[in-house]
Amino acid sequence: MIKSETVKQILEHYRVIWALSHAQALLGWDSETYMPEEGIKGRAVARAEIAQLIQRFMLEEKFVKLIEKAEEEKDLTDVERGIIRVLKRDLKFYQKVPPEIVKEFTKVTSEAFIAWRGAKEKAKFDIFAPYLERIVELSRVIADKLGYEEHPYDALLDLYEEGLTSRDVESVFSVLEPGIRKLLGKLESIGWPKSHKLEEEPYDKTKMEAAIREVLELVGYPKGRFRIDISPHPFTIGITTPFDVRITVRYRGVDFKEPLFSALHEYGHALYELNVDESLAMTPVGTGVSLGVHESQSRFMENVIGRSREFVEKIAPILRKHLDFLSKYGNDDLFYYFNVVRPSLIRTEADEVTYNLHILLRYKLERLMITGEVKVNQLPELWNSEMERLLGVRPKNDAEGVLQDVHWSHGSIGYFPTYTLGNVVAAMIYYKHGRIRSLVAEGNITAIKEYLREKIHKWGSVYPPKELLMRSFGEAYNAEYLVKYLEEKYS
- Whether residue 322 is annotated as binding a ligand: the answer is no
Q: Which of 101, 97, 89 lies closest to 146 in space, CA to CA?
A: 97
Q: Which of 241, 230, 203 lies closest to 21 in space, CA to CA?
A: 241
Helices (H), 224-290: 257-274
The distance from CA 44 to its chain's CA centroid, rounded to whole angstroms, is: 23
Q: How far apart are CA 354 and CA 343, in angstroms?
A: 6
Using CB atoms within 10 Å of the CB of residue 290, give its burial: 0 to 12 exposed, 13 to 18 middle, 19+ buried. Answer: buried
The distance from CA 160 to its chain's CA centroid, rounded to whole angstroms, is: 10
Residue 315 near residue 200 (C-beta atoms within 8 A) = no
- Whether residue 269 is annotated as binding a ligand: the answer is yes
Query: Which residues fall within 8 angstroms of residue 166, CB to CB, at 6 or more apart?
Result: 150, 151, 153, 154, 157, 367
DSSP, collapsed to helix, strand or coil, labels residue 301 as: helix
- Whether residue 233 is annotated as binding a ligand: the answer is no
Sheet containing 244-249: give its strands across: 226-230, 244-249, 236-240
Query: Which residues fall within 8 angstroms of residue 416, CB to CB, at 6 or more apart?
Result: 359, 362, 363, 366, 407
DSSP, collapsed to helix, strand or coil, labels residue 359 as: helix
Q: How far apart are CA 468 and CA 478, in angstroms?
A: 14
Residue 411 near residue 138 (C-beta atoms within 8 A) = yes
Residue 218 near residue 318 (C-beta atoms within 8 A) = yes
Catalytic residue among 266, 302, 366, 400: 266
As beta bridge partners, residue 228 has 247
Report the Cα–Cα distance between both ends of the chain, in Å, rounded: 48
Q: Write the DSSP assignment of 59-119 as a string of letters.
A: T-HHHHHHHHHHHH-SS--HHHHHHHHHHHHHHHHHHHS-HHHHHHHHHHHHHHHHHHHHH
Q: Would you call 162 a catalytic residue per the annotation?
A: no
Q: How far apart are CA 348 and CA 262, in angstroms?
A: 8
Binding site listing: 265, 269, 295
Binding site listing for Zn(2+): 265, 269, 295
Query: Which residues have a catalytic role annotated?
Result: 266
